Structure 1
Amino acid sequence: MTLLSKRLQAVYQMVDKDTRVADIGSDHAYLPVELIENDVCHFAIAGEVAKGPMSRSKEDVEKFGLSNNIDVRLGDGLAVIKADDQIDTVVIAGMGGILIQNILTRATEEQLSHVKTLVLQPNIGEPLVRHWLVENGFEIVDEDIVNEEHHVYEIIKAGRVDKTKPLTEAQFLMGPVLMTKKSPTFVAKWQHKLNGYHKALENMKHAKEIDQAKIDLMNQYIKYIKEIL
């Protein structure tokens, strides 16, 4: 996998074989190119919201001779998907959790009609993404966490289900699958967060105006993290 960063390699690993994929905010179409080149899927859409990135993605797709397999389209979020594309897997990687949540919320029934799997990689705001999934008929089936260039990324894979299982606040915060895997990267992330929360708590206690609600929330987070670690 020469084109993909460590973060995108982790996303790549989450895509099931023989699927039809839409990569939203594709960035050079590197992920679709790797998926097609390695026979993971045979058709992909690379969606871009601006003309500049779309042109770059088109150039790369043509360079690899994959124009018949990868359709580069201009559009906002899932607007690049049509029902007859029969897209069953949507990837949204490298955006904030609020933006990912907004993109999914704005998606129409037609755009999501065939979608069975979502592979999401928020840069921040992971709990927001998990809340959206549970509230919209998706169950988290796998998660991964990678450290790349001093930033920790979480990848969330979810499948459509008839009835979702509720998550605890700790699971929304830390990830239900990540909590069970407890990888060294996961432990390091939350140890660092724990230290940060302790410092923030000390600062809050010495502030001129005490924000009790914030202090209570911070104490709750500290309790969750300590229990899991």
Structure 2
Amino acid sequence: MLAPAHVATKWLARRSPWPSRFLAAAAWIIGARVRCSGGPASPHTLLVSNHTSWLDILVLGGSTGTTFISKDELGHPLIHWLADQNATVYVKRTHRKGAKDQAIAVAAALEREKPVTVFPEGTTGPGTHLLPFRSTLLEAANYASKEVEIRPVAIDYGNAAAEIGWYHEPGKANIVRLLNRAGTLPVRVQVLPPLDRAGDRKQLTALARDAIASRLDFKSDAHSPIGVVE
């Protein structure tokens, strides 16, 4: 039902609010009850967020209007089409020598109107602590022709964080489990103040991780037992 309205609005106005509305509606239907503070994020903002679940896309996209950075292979064509409608930025994360090209692609997206979210953990985690943050894509802020703000974002699932965490579980099993979850799911999205851009990308990444860890009341240990810092 939303697709014709989205296509028509995008054709007439060159931009459409329907992708974020769709994500918000999908989050609500699944049971998420989202409260967002500190926003909205302005255009030319790079949001740096923790990553607990595929639900993060619905929760954050629906509450902030952000687009996302994704691996270039999303599987099912419908999923890819839906991601396209939200102006998703695709990168080849396994192509290590193409780090600069990845950052330039993100920089181009930052020059448009939608904020852009990066999940520097690179994967979803257990929900009980942060994985190491990779700094590569934060370099995009230096390549953009616009003045870019970098703002950490804490997605907080509260007492349900460990239950929501997608780690060591097949994707289909996780989706089925969460869709069958009883009751509603309170989620708090906290868009934190912009970081001081004086530091290099690794310093900014560390600052973002510390800010998110503090809001989630996690111990900010750079040597997490899961993952490897890059």
Flag the structure with higher strand content.
Answer: 1
Flag the structure with higher helix content.
Answer: 1
TM over 0.5: no
- Structure with max Cα Rg: 1
After TM superposition, the score normalised by the length of structure 2 is 0.38
Higher relative contact order (CA 8 A, sep 6+): 2
After TM superposition, the score normalised by the length of structure 1 is 0.38
